[in-house]
Amino acid sequence: MICSSIPEALAGIPDGATLMVGGFGLVGIPENLILGLRETGVKNLTVISNNCGVDDWGLGLLLNNRQIRKMVGSYVGENKEFERQYLSGELEVELVPQGTLAERIRAGGAGIPAFFTPAGVGTPIAEGRETRVFNGKEYLLELALKADFALVKAWRGDGLGNLQYRRTAQNFNPMMAAAGKITIAEVEVLAAIGDLEPEHVHTPSIYVQRVILGGHQEKRIERRTVRKGGAA
């Protein structure tokens, strides 16, 4: 269904919900949905995402507003408030190797309850966890991830919920769209039904329940690095 407003798109997300939020760094994040979620005031959220944004943008806004109880992610190095809340015991954190995180989400969307991976074997991640040996190599059991709601960002989408992503936004958004019980898609372009060629659809409409048109709020760079030019 096409939603006419952000509040309509986010309707029904309760305190304590588990959310998947797409994006890679600050690229491909559903920025308007995140801003809207901050305004709802919902709290005690478990958020599954590659990272937690930066201090004043992306998921960092929800963190600053004390709306996140637990964070499941793979990279948290750009957020000082994240570090403070974790070290003070205010935030529960589950760190997952990035490839494993992606596969756990993909498995959840595919209906696969668990899988074995070599990533993490012999590290603190594997302590107290089930391992098995296949063909002489040890593997660690990982459980699939699902969410009550998935918030994703797509380049184009139509009224049925078919989605098309661009570039780095394809890292997590497509698999999260399949793993949410209710998937809410923020799109930059709302196409007419039939305008998206079937072979260019990355997420079929069967996975998407709500679509909202949202433009860019602002272009952010997670970490700006520069190099001094050498002498000519």
- Per residue in 158-182, pLDDT (tens digit) is 999 999 998 888 889 999 999 999 9
**Strand ordering across the sheet containing 114-117:** 114-117, 137-143, 131-134
Query: d(Cα 120, Cα 135) in Å, to the nearest integer?
Result: 18
Asked if the structure places residue 36 within a domain, the reply is yes
Give 54-94 as a 3 state SS string: ECCECCHHHHHCCCEEEEEECECCCCHHHHHHHHCCCCEEE
pTM beyond cutoff 0.95: no
Asked if the structure places residue 129 within a domain, the reply is no
- CB distance 32 to 185 below 8 Å: no
Asked if the structure places residue 158 within a domain, the reply is yes
Total domains, the chain: 1
- What CATH code is carried by the domain that includes residue 41? 3.40.1080.10
Which residues span the domain enclosing 177?
6-114+144-213
Q: Which two tokens stand for residue 147?
A: 């969410």
- Per residue in 20-54, pLDDT (tens digit) is 999 887 888 999 999 999 999 999 999 999 988 88
Asked if the structure places residue 178 within a domain, the reply is yes
Asked if the structure places residue 231 within a domain, the reply is no
Asked if the structure places residue 206 within a domain, the reply is yes
Asked if the structure places residue 134 within a domain, the reply is no
Query: d(Cα 1, Cα 129) in Å, to the nearest integer?
Result: 42
Please give the pLDDT value at position 223.
Answer: 55
Asked if the structure places residue 166 within a domain, the reply is yes
Compute the average pLDDT of residues 96-115: 96
